[in-house]
Structure 1
Amino acid sequence: MFKHRILASSLALGVSAIAMTGPSWAQEDAATPPQQAAPQDDAQPGSADIVITGSRIVRDGYTAPTPVTVATADELAKTTPSSIPDALNKLPQFGNSLSPGKSANNFASIPIHGNVLNLRSLGTPSNNPKGPLRTLILFDGIRVPPTTYVGTVDTNVLPQLLMQRVDVVTGGASAGYGSDAVAGVVNFVLDKNFTGIKGVAQAGISSRGDAGNQRIGLAGGWDFGGGRGHILLSGEFANNDGLLRSQRAGGNDGYAFVGSKVGCANPNPLTDPTACNPGGSLNPYTIGRNVLISALAPNGRIVGASSTANPYIGQVINNDGTTRPFNPGTAVGTPGFQIGGDGYGIPADNAAIAPFKTYQTFGRVSYDLTPDINAYVQGVWSRTDMRYTTQQNALVPPSLGVRVYKDNPYLSDALNNSLATADDFLLIGQTQAGQPKPVADERTDFWMATAGLQGSFSDFKWAVSYTHGESKHKMDNSGLYDTRKLYAAVDAVSDGNGNVVCRVSLDPTLASQYSGCRPMDVMHGNPAASTPDGYAYATGTSSYRARLKQDSVEASLSGSLFELPAGPVDFAIGAEYRKVSLDLTSNADPATLTDRDAYFAGLRGVPAGALYYWLNNVGAAHGSVNVKEAFAELAVPILKDTPFFEELSLNGAARITDYSTSGTVKTWKVGATWKPVQDLLLRGTISRDIRAPNLFELYAGAQSGIGIVNDAVIRDGSGNPVYGSGQNVNVNSVTAGNPGLKPEIGRTLTFGGVITPRFLPGFSLSIDYYRIKVTNIIETLTAQQILTNCYNAGGSGAVECGLIDRDTPTTFPSLVHIVPANIAFLKTAGLDFDASYRTTLGNGALGIRLYANYLDKFDAQQYTGAPIAHYAGVSVVGSNPAGLPRWRGNLAVDYSNGPFGVTLSEQYIGKMRLDIPGGTKQIQFVDSHVKPVWYTDLSVRFTIPHGKGNFELFGNVNNLFDKDPPLIPGTIPGVNLPTNIAVYDFIGRAFTAGVRFKF
């Protein structure tokens, strides 16, 4: 643990902005008069020990050059009582983080739930579905192991009641803290010396009577052994009832962006081949309502047959087994979509917020073995349970349509007579016929234990620790179509005695393989209603289990080497060893489906790309990596207390890291601080940082996916199609790991200043510029991008063309292969503003705090040779939306007077324009403007003294004026609520009330 000693009386906001090397939030109680926080530069006897992230060096009065935002737990709870991570995500330093309300829940193949923080939006944009991975999370200076096997850290697992504050390093910090700190570090700092009992009990609900949530927690701290020992214990429980998309405006309305020009004719197909594509210059996107996908009808549609001349192709199947013509609704400028009619969409009764329960406990025991040596052991345990419905079972050709052969008893006479021979068939697609939805049950257990010694001798401090962390994740997605059983059940025949049976049941060589088979009817609407036994047989449970373990040992030494006229030369050195292992098993691993003929023996009509289940085929992953690291940091004071040089200091850090998978990599940082006058601090750093590939990226087995793609057609000079099918339907994809991945490389520049004018006590202002470039980024192309890149290459000659499986050049792909690689880069730059003011007002205390960020640049290139995408000021339209406004801000005004306190906070999200960056040309919208949004939150509190402690009654209104989010649908109807869920609040006005107590 590394610390600066900072005057207790200098913890006021105006001074701490300098003394803590960056802005801090409410470092003293709001009622403390500002005159009690007079500036003092040197630590005095009795000053408090404060651990400030940003430097490994411990030196009284030292000011690190890296900006650090410090937010106390009490202040975060005032504005956002739900959780500390929820409050952090309102600060402009964070963007596009994952949280329960900011991720889609249609699939269960990737565990990306919880609060996953995303500094600087550097985990965005990305086609990697695993979530933000470039922000390092620390718990009291110790690296938190991943809580999920994909490498993310759910910060909800940490003991919130015992947090003292959160330090946010908003710049590269890999030299000081290691891999993953490309965007910065978030250090949750424990209140290790807390003594007493405290707790919280609260409940919340939206103004519409839904989205209920509850939280209860209790924590305590006690001395023992005559004050030489200290014990901390806490337990917390949180519940969220969740929210369906159908419970919010627009959730049931089928909004989607569609092309605005029906029958678009392109006069220049050679010079501008994408002009008539949806979003092209001649076919700009517009918002459509009740948009449906034309490929199918909910109850069923005949989409093909063994003979292309069959007159029933394209017909809709009625509940009584008869057919009728397909109603194409109103045409739009997106192929395969329509407004109204007989198409289908993704149902709105899926979760916008998946219900979850979280249990969390923490314990710590420390003891002074001698006056100079302290021993401690601490542990965290957390469990999160989730249960939600996933995307409905569907028969979606070509990936999963079913053939109904002649003489199937469920065929009407008319349909049966249209088939000439026993091998003739109708190809049926069906979705939303009323069948029950699959249900995902997820449980994540996480624990982390640390034992360590820390002490001092002479002018040196040392520490050594061992940490073991482990996460266990299990997922059961029940009610999914089991592909083998599905095709056995659908191929129904008569047994000659008037009974309908599975055809394979009549074959003695196959009967045992399909034991228990019951026929399923897809020709009379909902198969779960018409043939419940057959539907039950045809569905099953896709399951996977993952266990990730991390062991690390760290040792460090810090102190002063010698004295210079300006002060001591301080250093910190250390070493770390870390081993991480992953073991992921699955009952639906695509890699194990090696003998398809044996697995699907005797079945007819199984598509070439069929896997074990309709969805959620998760591949196994096994691997480990060990990491050896050594670091050093040096702080050199150059000048002090001279004209124009109240202080001038240099700081440097270096780290060398050896990965068993990718070899040796070096990181470094150089920084300086300069105080020309007492009221002004100038600072700057440059650094080289890394993010090493995690085990899932390296060793993940094949993971199946599905999504709608537009398979554009390439034509020859005579207008004949030579490549591509022209279809706009679902395609199967498989994504796997890449053991050859190398670390990502980040380069960061920051410089700025902090002003604390003596003529205005209680006021401080900091402004910092940052510029970050990350190269060698681990990225994957989407299935659509792979198709588009092959199209742009003329259908051959591009690497992407080899990733597409087609039966013929003009048939729709049966499978698209997706592999991560070090192919991308991004650059971002901007300005951080932080202003605070504290003063007395009447008989109370007034505190004002402003955080703001201006995003000057956010450019990304997905692979060498691809167009550079410009994201600054853009609301990204898509199934995984992101938003990067030019301006973001958060203003909090707090007033306390005796037992009463009120906090009013205002969150600003600047205007943006709609776009889907990354193409050769900017996507066009009929109206691309997104207006700025203001959210107002109000909190009130009343403190009741009781003995040596107090009760605090509190109430909070989030989104006080019930501001509706902007209408921003995706390009596929129903995937998410029709807004940018990564940016905007869609719950609306919500209330929380409760009590906090401390004794």
Structure 2
Amino acid sequence: MKRSRHSLLMLGTILGSSVFAASVQAQTSASSADEPMVFEEVSVVGSRIKRQDEVSNSPVFTLSGDDLNATGLVSMGEMLQELPGVGFSLNSNGSGGVSHGTSSINLRNLGANRALVLVNGHRWVAGSGTRGFRDFVDLNTIPQSIVGRVEVLKDGATAIYGADAIAGVINIHTKKMDGFEVNAYGGSTSRGDGESMSFDLTWGQTFDRGSVLVSAMYTDQQEIYTEDRELTREPLNSWSTTNPNGRYTGTPLGGVLTTIAGRDGTSVDDFRPYVDPADRTNIYDHTYVTGPLRRYAIWGQAEYQITEGIHATAEILYNNRRSDQLFSPITPRVRGGEGYVLPADHPFNPFGEETGSSLNLTRQLDELGQRVNLQNVETWRFAAGLDGEFSNGWSWEVFYSYGKNDSTFDSLNQINMEHLALGLGSNDACAAVSDCVPINYFGPLTEAMTDYLRYDAHDEHGTRQHDLTANITGDLFEMPAGTVGFAGGFEYRRESAFDNPDYFVGASPVLNSYRTTSSAPREASSGSYDLYEFYTELNVPLLKDMPLVHDLNIDAAVRYSHYSTFGDTTNTKFGIGWRPVEDLLIRATFAEGFRAPSILESTPAERATNLVANDPCSGGGAGLVGCAGVPATYEQAGNAVTATVSGNPDLQPETSRNYSVGAVLTPKAVPGLSLSVDWYRIKVSDTITSLGSQRILNLCANTGDKCDLISRDAAGEITNLLDGPVNLNTTTVEGWDMTARYQVDGTDMGDFTFLIDASYLTNYTDELVNDDGSITVQEREGTSNVLRESIPKWRGKGSIQWHKGNWSANYSARMIGSTDEDPSDTTAGDIPAIWYHDIAATYHFRDDAMSITMGVENIFDQQPPVSLVNTNVNFDINTYNAKGTFGYLRFTARFGG
């Protein structure tokens, strides 16, 4: 934690305020008879200072309206996740994922909570809708219909925007228009599934003193099932040992038994020995490769010129997102050592004697139907602001926003474990409860039994954000090389979140010692913090029109922040831009980054969950040091382990140092051409992270480290794994960004825009501190050895846009580089590089008043590469998708304006 450098901050603020006041007085009395020509000034993400040069000292990539309309994607998350600088991110792929309908943006592979998402330069509320709340923005709460363009700052910007901007900033600009615009969209994969439709209506009108815009949107994306893709039909880690006929050990008959198909399980003759692997079940059959997602939203934006110098804005948003995930029918945990005893006189005890503590009953209860998780997320945002200009040209702004997410999470077709214990237990105890139904666990369940056992859990949670900002920017004074630009401001922000899980799920069991239900319990939690910040930013032109110096300028910014949770911090940023000639900009930046522990990370509420992981000790561990004592007969069922995670109130903030050096070439001899290349290096210290279930299991098995975080029963089965966030390590990423854009207008063949955007990762290093103080260095660039975390060295995207007369077309190609699933193996490239190719053509009617687009994504039906690490659906769902070829049709009509 860094202490405040008040003197630097106060110097900049006093300097700006004093010169501003003198400038107002001088310019108010000056004559305006001989005014020079004034060029429009613009604001570029990464700076609060308005300037005439859109090419900043920090690397910025812009997606224009044409770029956004040239794809067949219907969500901002899908579009942004295809950018080369974006790594593995949450999306709707896979029921076994952790997205629960959320869409995230993971810049530089540093995590979604280290990239700041802005809308019109202002923060957006954190997401919710999973089992609890999030600590990053869910891009599915921002309707695509309102987006005009997107700027991606590939640089740290804590000094400009505050915390969370370690990896970069996404700034989404809403559209402005006059008249009506209607868009209708529909599409499907070549296999007839994954249907997607979208409809939006936008109306805008400009009046003498203001404008208004209203947009409404509805999107419906349908599911794709595992059995409908060859890649996902069979899990690579083999089928589960559970099945609808059961796998029973510890019964009076001894051995491993299963019920004979078609028998009712009431006689010892109804059983036979369990045969492995013939009696296994594919528990991933008829689950989702891509889950369904439905959204509807309405957005309103109004502007009004109150006086010549005061302008008002207001915004309102309502967004509703509904998503679900589909899982195999429940397989409840029935252990004799946890209170489940089948009495000798039970009506459905086929053995004629009471079961003991060694009883272990595993059966998939198909009669209850598949488990379903449902999310319903409502997002509200209200914002209002005043801005204007003083007579000297200085601009000011005061802006307030309030955003909130209210979410419900329903887990359907779970089991009431207390009812199961009562229905399997004493006849007298069951008879004493009016609605108790004796359970036949070894045969078909009747409707009365399933109704008695079924439990549907209901959770509620949400996030809140209040954000008040005040900014001022203008010209301080003239220097021989130009005008010194200044920006300064204040921000107050309050973040809060709550999680109210189902009360009965979290209650202590009475009739068994495991859980009240088969749903994962967690403690209710809530938290909040607030902060206030001051910042100062300067742009100073040093030299101009000299030999080898067309111009030379520097940027400097400093931000002081005070958090209610841990105290204060000050962060700085410096940038330099040098044009030896007008056509070439050479730039470099240094930035200090900062991220405070989120409410999710710091709230000490325990949450039981199932974490996807493959147990190295399955089968006894073949002599691995951390598997000593695990029986060779133990075999992991499925690919998840029972775990407990919790926040950590002792977390300290993360800090980072960001460096970048690059060049931008815009040769006048070749109008429309721009070339840029930038090197970057980001080092994050005191990284807040969890080890992760797979890493804990691997460390224990291979080295004996972290074994204290794992609990097993006598049979070897994992009964609990502890994980949670700690300031564990140092993370360093380093690489290159390269962009080439060439626009050619007025040729005989039409107008063309060519774009190539690529990212090369040279270094991604995690330095983990072990229990004994030693450091384990993990080099992760070019690897995919961690579940759902592929980190290729190369990513790239290229496109050609063409327009002539009434026709336009677009072709694009996207590449995800190769990765290695086993870095210890000298054979690199276990997962090959793959290419996706998309094409679309548009015909414009009546001077572009109407248009129709036909397009095909992934025209060569590229399927994800097989991954042995991601064994449930056999590919990395956070990096690739299995839709295959997808065709779509879009109709657009514009009226008025």
Compute the TM-score of the two structures, normalised by the length of structure 1.
0.79
Q: Distance in 1 between matches of 2:39 and 2:196?
A: 40
Q: Distance in 2 between matches of 1:889 and 1:433?
A: 45
Does the Cα contact within 8 Å between 1:139 and 1:189 map onto a contact in 2? yes
Distance 1:923 1:183, change over 3 A: same
1:734: Cα distance to partner?
Answer: 1.1
SS for the counterpart of 1:86 is: helix
Which residue identity does 1:147 align to in structure 2? G
Alignment-derived partner of residue 183 in structure 1: 167
Q: Distance in 1 between matches of 2:205 and 2:558?
A: 40
Which residue identity does 2:95 align to in structure 1? N
Alignment-derived partner of residue 158 in structure 1: 142
Alignment-derived partner of residue 299 in structure 1: 245
SS for the counterpart of 1:913 is: coil
1:705: Cα distance to partner?
Answer: 1.4
Alignment-derived partner of residue 831 in structure 1: 736
Distance 1:397 1:768, change over 3 A: farther
Alignment-derived partner of residue 795 in structure 2: 888
Alignment-derived partner of residue 72 in structure 2: 80
Does the Cα contact within 8 Å between 2:43 and 2:51 map onto a contact in 1? no
Structure 2 residues without counterparts, runs of 5 or longer: 1-34
Which residue identity does 2:315 align to in structure 1? Q
Q: CA RMSD in A?
A: 2.8
One of 722, 746, 759 as aligned partner of 2:656: 746
Alignment of 1:601-750 (within 5 A): 603=511, 606=512, 608=513, 610-699=514-603, 701-707=605-611, 709-711=615-617, 723-724=629-630, 727-729=634-636, 731-750=641-660
Q: Distance in 2 between matches of 1:753 and 1:720?
A: 51
Q: Distance in 2 between matches of 1:452 and 1:140?
A: 12
Q: Distance in 2 between matches of 1:378 and 1:581?
A: 22
Q: Distance in 2 between matches of 1:877 and 1:773?
A: 21
Question: Cα deviation per residue 1:141-173 (whole Å; 9 max; x = unaligned)?
Answer: 000111322122122322433322100000111
Q: Distance in 2 between matches of 1:327 and 1:70?
A: 59
One of 344, 357, 361 as aligned partner of 1:428: 361
**Identity over the aligned pairs, expressed in percent?**
27
Matched residues, number: 838
Which residue identity does 2:157 align to in structure 1? A
Structure 1 residues without counterparts, runs of 5 or longer: 1-42, 124-131, 257-290, 330-340, 494-502, 916-921
1:140: Cα distance to partner?
Answer: 0.2
Alignment-derived partner of residue 585 in structure 1: 500
Q: Distance in 1 between matches of 2:475 and 2:685?
A: 37
Question: Cα deviation per residue 1:501-548 (whole Å; 9 max; x = unaligned)?
Answer: xx52234xxx3xxx4121221112xx4xx3221122112111210121
Q: Distance in 1 between matches of 2:58 and 2:785?
A: 31
Which residue identity does 2:229 align to in structure 1? R
Q: Distance in 2 between matches of 1:62 and 1:925?
A: 46
Q: Distance in 1 between matches of 2:404 and 2:327?
A: 27
1:759: Cα distance to partner?
Answer: 2.6
Alignment-derived partner of residue 330 in structure 2: 393
Alignment of 1:816-827 (within 5 A): 816-827=721-732
Does the Cα contact within 8 Å between 2:626 and 2:702 map onto a contact in 1? no
Which residue identity does 1:581 align to in structure 2? S
Matched, 1:576 2:491: yes
Alignment-derived partner of residue 6 in structure 2: none
Does the Cα contact within 8 Å between 1:622 and 1:700 map onto a contact in 2? no
Question: Cα deviation per residue 1:659-717 (whole Å; 9 max; x = unaligned)?
Answer: 11122122211110000112211000011111222112122622111255344899999
Matched, 1:355 2:292: yes
1:424: Cα distance to partner?
Answer: 7.5
Matched, 1:904 2:808: no
Farther-moved stretch of structure 1 (151-160 vs 199-208)? 151-160
Matched, 1:203 2:186: yes
Farther-moved stretch of structure 1 (561-570 vs 158-167)? 158-167
Does the Cα contact within 8 Å between 2:100 and 2:325 map onto a contact in 1? no
Matched, 1:847 2:761: no
One of 26, 50, 53 as aligned partner of 1:61: 53
Q: Distance in 2 between matches of 1:857 and 1:492?
A: 63
Alignment-derived partner of residue 465 in structure 1: 399
Does the Cα contact within 8 Å between 1:92 and 1:890 map onto a contact in 2? yes
Does the Cα contact within 8 Å between 1:76 and 1:88 map onto a contact in 2? no
Distance 1:73 1:99, change over 3 A: farther
Q: Distance in 2 between matches of 1:50 and 1:392?
A: 57
Question: Cα deviation per residue 1:396-454 (whole Å; 9 max; x = unaligned)?
Answer: 46698955343332233xx33xx4x5767743111264541122221000011111110
One of 352, 361, 379 as aligned partner of 1:446: 379
Alignment-derived partner of residue 719 in structure 2: 814
Does the Cα contact within 8 Å between 1:852 and 1:889 map onto a contact in 2? yes
One of 876, 881, 885 as aligned partner of 1:985: 881
SS for the counterpart of 2:790 is: strand
Does the Cα contact within 8 Å between 2:382 and 2:402 map onto a contact in 1? yes
One of 436, 440, 449 as aligned partner of 1:517: 436
Which residue identity does 1:851 align to in structure 2? D
Q: Distance in 1 between matches of 2:202 and 2:438?
A: 58
Which residue identity does 1:956 align to in structure 2? G
Q: Distance in 2 between matches of 1:452 and 1:720?
A: 60
1:492: Cα distance to partner?
Answer: 6.4
Does the Cα contact within 8 Å between 1:404 and 1:425 map onto a contact in 2? no
Distance 1:407 1:928, change over 3 A: farther
Matched, 1:755 2:680: no
Question: Cα deviation per residue 1:54-82 (whole Å; 9 max; x = unaligned)?
Answer: 11112333753110001112322212342
One of 318, 323, 326 as aligned partner of 2:260: 318
Matched, 1:870 2:779: yes
Does the Cα contact within 8 Å between 1:298 and 1:343 map onto a contact in 2? no
Q: Distance in 1 between matches of 2:862 and 2:645?
A: 39
SS for the counterpart of 1:676 is: strand
Q: Distance in 2 between matches of 1:183 and 1:90?
A: 17
1:925: Cα distance to partner?
Answer: 9.8
Does the Cα contact within 8 Å between 2:595 and 2:654 map onto a contact in 1? yes
Alignment-derived partner of residue 237 in structure 1: 218
Does the Cα contact within 8 Å between 1:576 and 1:629 map onto a contact in 2? yes
Which residue identity does 2:110 align to in structure 1? L
Q: Distance in 1 between matches of 2:628 and 2:849?
A: 78
Q: Distance in 1 between matches of 2:496 and 2:658?
A: 30
Which residue identity does 1:471 align to in structure 2? N
1:890: Cα distance to partner?
Answer: 0.7
Alignment of 1:915-930 (within 5 A): 915=822, 922=823, 929-930=830-831
Alignment of 1:413-562 (within 5 A): 415-416=351-352, 419=353, 426-431=359-364, 433=366, 435-457=368-390, 458-491=392-425, 493=427, 503-507=428-432, 511=433, 515-524=434-443, 527=444, 530-562=445-477
Q: Distance in 2 between matches of 1:553 and 1:950?
A: 40
Q: Distance in 2 between matches of 1:804 and 1:822?
A: 20
Q: Distance in 2 between matches of 1:995 and 1:250?
A: 34
Does the Cα contact within 8 Å between 2:200 and 2:217 map onto a contact in 1? yes
Question: Cα deviation per residue 1:944-999 (whole Å; 9 max; x = unaligned)?
Answer: 016xx610111110001112222224464xx3x22222222310100110211223
Distance 1:929 1:786, change over 3 A: closer
SS for the counterpart of 1:770 is: strand
Q: Distance in 2 between matches of 1:92 and 1:228?
A: 42
1:588: Cα distance to partner?
Answer: 4.4
Distance 1:427 1:715, change over 3 A: closer
Which residue identity does 1:882 align to in structure 2? E
Distance 1:52 1:371, change over 3 A: same
Q: Distance in 2 between matches of 1:783 and 1:986?
A: 26
Alignment-derived partner of residue 26 in structure 2: none
1:784: Cα distance to partner?
Answer: 4.5
Q: Distance in 1 between matches of 2:695 and 2:175?
A: 48
